[in-house]
A and B are shown apart, each in its own frame.
Chain A
Amino acid sequence: MATLLFEIGTEELPSWFVQQGSDALADLLVTRLAGASVEHGALRSYATPRRLAIVVEDVAERSLRRQVTRRGPPESAAFDASGAPTRAALGFARSSGVDPTDLVVDDLGKGRYVYATVEVGGEPTVTLLSALLAGVVQDLPAPRKMRWAEVETLFVRPIAWLVALLDDVVVPVEVAGVHAGRATRGHRFLHAGAIELPHADAYEGALRGASVIADRAERRAAVVEAARGVAAGEGLELVSDAELEDEVCDLLETPVAVLGAFGERFLDLPDDVLGTVMIHHQRFFPTRGADGRLAPRFVALSNNRVPDGGVVRRGYEQVLRGRLDDARFFWDADRSESLSRHAWGLSGIAFQKELGSMGDKVARISTSARQLADVLGVSEDEAATLKAALRVFRADLSTKMVHELPELEGTMGRAYALAEGQPSEVAVALEDGVLPRAHGGRLPSTRVGAILSVADRLDTLVGFFAIGRRPSGSADPYGLRRAGVGAVRTVAAQGWRVPFRKLIDAAASGFDGSVDVADDVLSDVEAFAWDRVSALLAEERVPTPVIRAAVHGSRSVIGAARRAHLLRALMTRDGWVDLMTLYKRAANLGRQAPDGASVRSALFRDAAEAPLFEALPDARRGVERLMAGVRKQLVPWDLGKAPNRELGGLDEAVAEVLRLKAPLDAFLDSVHVMVDAEEVRVNRLALLAAVANVLRDLGALEHLEAGEA
Chain B
Amino acid sequence: MRFQDIIMALDRFWADRGCTIVPPHDTEVGAGTFYPTTFFGALGEKPWRVAGIAPSRRPADGRYGDNPYRFQYFYQYQVVIKPSPVDIQETYLQSLYHLGIDPGAHDIRFVEDNWESPTLGAWGLGWEVWMDGMEITQFTYFQQVAGIDCRPVSVELTYGLERLAMYLQGAKHAFDVEVSEGVTMGDLRRDFERQHCTYNFDQADTDLQRLLFDKFEAEATRLLALELVHPAYEFALRCSHAFNLLDARGVLSHTERQGYVQRVRRMTEAAAAAYLAGSAADAAQAA
Binding site for B on A (CB under 8 A): 11-16, 49, 144, 146-150, 157-158, 160, 189, 251-252, 282, 284, 300, 302-304, 306-308, 311-312, 314-316, 318-320, 322, 326, 350, 353
Contact = CB atoms under 8 A, between A and B. Distances in A.
A318 B135 CA distance: 12
Contacts of A252: 109
Given A147-B141, A320-B133, A315 B111 contact: no
Q: From B89, B111, B132, B134, name the one whose CB has the most chain A CB atoms within 10 angstroms.
A: B132
Interface string B91-106: 0000000000001111
A221 B233 CA distance: 54
Contact of B107 (A11, A16, A302): A302
Contacts of B69: 322
B107 A146 contact: no
Contacts of B84: 148-149, 158
B260 interface: no
A315 B85 contact: no
Nearest to A302: B107
A350 B252 CA distance: 10
**Interface size classification for chain B:** 35 or more
Interface string B111-126: 1100000000000010
Contact of A160 (B86, B103, B112, B151): B86
B232 to A, nearest CB: 29
B131 A315 contact: yes
B285 interface: no
Contacts of B68: 322
Given A148-B84, A149-B153, A350 B108 contact: no
Nearest to A314: B132
Nearest to B255: A353
Interface string B73-89: 00000000001111001
A308 B141 contact: no
A319 to B, nearest CB: 4
B141 A312 contact: no
B60 to A, nearest CB: 12
A308 B153 contact: no
A322 B63 CA distance: 14
B67 interface: yes
A315 B125 contact: no
A49 B125 CA distance: 15
Interface string B5-44: 0000000000000000000000000000000000000000
Interface in B219-261: 253-255
B141 A350 contact: no
A15 B112 CA distance: 7
7 closest cross-chain pairs (CB), A and B: A315-B132, A350-B254, A14-B112, A12-B110, A302-B107, A150-B152, A319-B133
9 contacts: A12-B109, A12-B112, A144-B125, A148-B84, A150-B83, A300-B133, A306-B104, A319-B132, A319-B134
B85 A149 contact: yes
Interface string B148-167: 00111101000000000001
B127 interface: yes
Contacts of B134: 315, 318-319
A149 B133 contact: no
A315 B253 contact: no
Nearest to A14: B112
Contacts of B155: 148
A252 B106 CA distance: 14
A306 B141 contact: no
B14 to A, nearest CB: 18
Contact of B105 (A251, A300, A306): A306
B141 A146 contact: yes
A320 to B, nearest CB: 7
Contact of B255 (A12, A147, A158, A350): A350
A304 B107 contact: yes
A189 B104 contact: yes
Interface of B: 67-69, 83-86, 89, 103-112, 125, 127, 131-134, 141, 143, 150-153, 155, 167, 253-255
A312 B107 contact: yes
Contact of B111 (A251, A304, A312, A320): A251
Contacts of A15: 111-112
Contacts of A350: 253-255
Q: From A149, A300, A315, A318, name the one whose CB has the most chain B CB atoms within 10 angstroms.
A: A149
Given A12-B109, A148-B141, A311-B106, 4 more contacts: A15-B112, A149-B86, A304-B106, A304-B108
Contacts of A160: 86
A15 to B, nearest CB: 7
B89 to A, nearest CB: 6
B133 A304 contact: no
B110 to A, nearest CB: 4
A238 to B, nearest CB: 18
Contacts of A146: 125, 141, 143, 153
A303 B109 contact: yes
B110 A306 contact: no
Given A149-B153, A316-B132, A322-B69, A12 B127 contact: yes
Contacts of A12: 109-112, 127
Nearest to A311: B105
A158 B106 contact: no
B254 A11 contact: no
B153 A189 contact: no
B105 A11 contact: no
A252 B125 CA distance: 20
Contact of A11 (B67, B104, B110, B150): B110
Contacts of B106: 304, 306, 311-312, 315
Nearest to B106: A312
B249 to A, nearest CB: 13
Contacts of A148: 84, 141, 153, 155
Contact of A308 (B105, B108, B151, B255): B105
Q: From A282, A284, A319, A320, name the one whose CB has the most chain B CB atoms within 10 angstroms.
A: A319
B245 to A, nearest CB: 19
A11 B91 CA distance: 13
B132 A312 contact: yes
A319 B130 CA distance: 11
A251 B127 CA distance: 12
A307 B133 contact: no
Contacts of B151: 147, 150
Contacts of B143: 146-147
Q: From B89, B107, B127, name the one whose CB has the most chain A CB atoms within 10 angstroms.
A: B107
B104 A304 contact: yes
A315 B167 contact: yes
Contacts of B89: 11
A302 B133 CA distance: 9
Nearest to A301: B107
A306 B107 contact: yes
A97 B177 CA distance: 81
Q: From A11, A144, A282, A326, name the one whose CB has the most chain B CB atoms within 10 angstroms.
A: A11
A304 B110 CA distance: 13
A252 B67 CA distance: 31
A149 B125 contact: no
Q: From A11, A148, A189, A300, name the one whose CB has the most chain B CB atoms within 10 angstroms.
A: A148
Nearest to B250: A348
B141 A315 contact: no
A300 B133 CA distance: 9
A281 B270 CA distance: 38
A306 B104 CA distance: 6
A189 B103 contact: yes
Nearest to B110: A12
A188 to B, nearest CB: 8
Contact of B133 (A144, A158, A315, A326): A315
Nearest to A308: B105
A260 B180 CA distance: 33
Given A251-B111, A304-B104, A311-B106, A147 B150 contact: yes
Contacts of A353: 254-255
Contacts of A312: 106-107, 132
